[in-house]
């Protein structure tokens, strides 16, 4: 058996009940075959893959808190510190009832390669809890965040591990988490990113993942003789990533006709009115179906099905495995020619394989959504410098980083004989830097 296949078999055997983690590892290892098979002895001798697929550390803890009725609630809390070869652990915190160790390991593993692609000195990690912020009062969210940080603070720090937001964690939660970290440690430091602008946050961080997604999409289209202006776009989700992807896509002349949440999706043939969406989602924390109250010409449909809407470009920006083989076939049948993933691993393996086989323009999440963590890296730089850069300055750096990621993925794909396969390209380019640092640092 090849080294790569041996390692995958071990991952499945030694990590039972973790399907998302297996899925993420398999996709990456399949790409890495192109690299590893050519130099199998070198990598085997260094035990590189055994170490690459095993998190350096997983912290798992109890999060007790008191709800508004005076009842005691207990959630599970985690931090997966996956790989610190190229920098301190860096990656978001997810608060969603579905959170478990498998999901956080897949996210931490992806983060290692994503952060490498940004070119910034950041290792990979991820954390979170099965706490459900939906329907909770501000006080309940604060109580949860303070309890979560009361354990987490001893494992993180500006030079060890720097968490940020992800699903269910935005400015409000990061504020509560930062306040409790400062109170417990007495340190005012850049230990979290995505902070408010009055206490060390960076301009553009809120917009960064969505903007970055459109910057790399735009670059991919241009390099393949196409353009975004005038194209019809479908975006899934209606959270942080989706909203700012829509904003930048519209600025560049695209027409976005659909958005969704976990209950259903809206279709607005005249183009989504983003101010309405922001009011519903960012101000009222409401549901996407409320859009049709403000825009009666739009249509709301309960349930899944957003990928049946005909489009030129699809941007899945909600969650993992939200776009399956059937969805991929429907998109292709309707003429969709480009997909860029705002979410982490939103396409199933079968869907990804079909996109690659049909040679549509497909940019995988670890490259396409890296703008968020890249701007987090820029927030860390500003915190260390004790300076704040202007919106334009950060936006320009973000744009350059996304163009750079496209170039790295395209170049690696070329070098290994699979031009235009940005899945293989992103996996290989991300891996090359991490593996070089791991080998140089010895057996640690």
Residues lying near ligand 2IT in the complex (CB under 6 A): 90-92, 111, 114, 164, 166, 193, 344, 372-373, 376
- Contact between 331 and 360 under an 8 Å Cβ cutoff? The reply is no
Smallest separation, CB 434 to ligand 2IT (Å): 16
d(CA 432, CA 411): 12
Span of 40-48, 144-152, 177-185, 259-267 interacting with ligand NDP by CB under 6 A: 259-267
Q: What is the DSSP letter of 283?
A: I
**Near ligand NDP by CB under 6 A: residue from 261, 268, 312, 395:** 261
Rounded to 5°, angle at Cα 78 from 72 and 81: 160
Dihedral sign for Cα 338, 342, 343, 344, please: positive
Please list, in sequence order, all residues whose beta carbon lies within 8 angstroms of the beta carbon of residue 195, skipping any fewer than 6 positions away. 171, 174, 175, 178, 201, 379
**Near ligand NDP by CB under 6 A: residue from 101, 116, 146, 369:** 369
When the beta carbons of 107 and 149 are compared against ligand NDP, the nearer one is: 107
Gyration radius of the chain over CA positions? 21
CB under 5 to 8 A by kind: which of ligand NDP, ligand 2IT, none does 90 bind? ligand 2IT
**Near ligand NDP by CB under 6 A: residue from 88, 124, 175, 239:** 239
Smallest separation, CB 188 to ligand 2IT (Å): 19
42 is catalytic: no
Smallest separation, CB 128 to ligand 2IT (Å): 10
Catalytic residue among 90, 105, 114, 126: 126
Smallest separation, CB 233 to ligand 2IT (Å): 21
User: In the window 88-127, what residues touch ligand NDP (CB under 6 A)?
Assistant: 96, 98
CB under 5 to 8 A by kind: which of ligand 2IT, ligand NDP, none does 317 bind? ligand NDP
d(CA 152, CA 59): 9
Would you call 308 exposed, middle or buried from its count of C-beta atoms within 10 A (0-12, 13-18, 19+)? Answer: middle
Smallest separation, CB 415 to ligand NDP (Å): 26
When the beta carbons of 102 and 232 are compared against ligand 2IT, the nearer one is: 102
> Which DSSP string corresponds to 50-101?
HHHTS-SEEEEEEEEEE-TTS-EEEEEEEEEEEE-SSSSEEEEEEE-TT--H
How remote is the C-alpha of 171 from its chain's centroid? Answer: 16
Q: What are the backbone angles phi and psi of residue 187, rounded to the nearest 5°?
A: -105, 130
Smallest separation, CB 212 to ligand NDP (Å): 9
CB under 5 to 8 A by kind: which of ligand NDP, ligand 2IT, none does 128 bind? none
Check binding of 372 to ligand NDP (CB under 6 A): yes
When the beta carbons of 111 and 116 are compared against ligand 2IT, the nearer one is: 111
Q: Per the structure block, which two tokens stand in for 197?
A: 């602008």
CA distances from 124 to 116, 138, 200, 354 (A): 9, 30, 22, 29
**What is the longest distance spanned by two Cα atoms in the chain?**
64
Site string for ligand NDP, 304-343 (x = CB under 6 A): -------------xxx----------------------xx
Residues that bind ligand NDP (CB under 6 A): 96, 98, 165-168, 209, 237-242, 261-263, 317-319, 342-344, 369, 372
| Positions marked catalytic | 126
């Amino acid at each position: 058996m090849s080294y790569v296949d041996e390692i995958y078999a071990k991952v499945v055997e030694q990590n039972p009940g973790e399907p998302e983690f297996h899925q993420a590892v398999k996709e990456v290892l399949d790409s890495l075959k192109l690299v590893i098979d050519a130099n199998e002895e070198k990598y085997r001798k260094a035990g590189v893959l055994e170490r690459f697929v095993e998190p350096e550390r997983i912290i798992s803890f109890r999060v007790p808190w008191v709800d508004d009725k005076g009842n005691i609630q207990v959630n599970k809390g985690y931090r997966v510190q996956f790989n610190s070869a190229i920098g301190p652990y860096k990656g978001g915190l997810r608060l969603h009832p579905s959170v478990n160790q498998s999901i956080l390991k897949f996210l931490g593993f992806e983060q290692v390669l994503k952060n490498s692609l940004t070119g910034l000195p950041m290792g990979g990690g991820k954390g979170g809890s099965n706490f459900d912020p939906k329907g909770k009062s501000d006080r309940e969210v604060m109580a949860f965040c303070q309890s979560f940080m009361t354990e987490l603070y001893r494992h993180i720090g500006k030079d060890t591990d720097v968490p940020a937001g992800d699903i269910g964690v935005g400015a409000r939660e990061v504020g509560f988490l930062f306040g409790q970290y400062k109170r417990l440690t007495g340190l005012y430091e850049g230990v979290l990113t995505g902070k408010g602008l009055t206490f060390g946050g960076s301009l553009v961080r809120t917009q960064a993942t969505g903007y970055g997604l459109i910057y790399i999409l735009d670059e991919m289209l241009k390099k393949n003789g196409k353009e975004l202006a005038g194209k019809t776009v479908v975006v899934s989700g209606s959270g942080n990533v989706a909203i700012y992807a829509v904003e930048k896509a519209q600025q560049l002349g695209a027409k976005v006709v659909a958005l969704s949440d976990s209950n259903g999706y809206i279709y607005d043939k005249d183009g989504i009115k983003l101010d309405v969406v922001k009011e519903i989602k960012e101000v009222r924390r409401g549901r996407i179906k409320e859009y049709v109250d403000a825009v009666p010409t739009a249509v709301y449909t309960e349930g899944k099905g957003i990928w049946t809407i005909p489009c030129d470009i699809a941007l899945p920006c909600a969650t993992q495995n939200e776009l399956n083989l059937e969805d991929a076939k429907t998109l292709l049948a309707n003429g969709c020619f480009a997909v860029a993933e705002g979410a982490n691993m939103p396409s199933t393996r079968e869907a990804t394989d079909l996109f690659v086989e049909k040679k549509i323009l497909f940019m995988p999440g670890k490259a396409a959504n890296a703008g968020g963590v890249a701007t987090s890296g820029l927030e860390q730089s500003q915190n260390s410098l004790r300076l704040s850069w202007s919106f334009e300055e950060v936006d320009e750096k973000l744009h350059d980083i996304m163009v750079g990621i496209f170039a790295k993925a395209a170049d690696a794909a070329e070098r290994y004989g699979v031009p235009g396969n940005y899945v293989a390209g992103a996996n290989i380019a991300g891996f090359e830097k991490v593996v070089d640092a791991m080998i140089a640092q010895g057996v640690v």
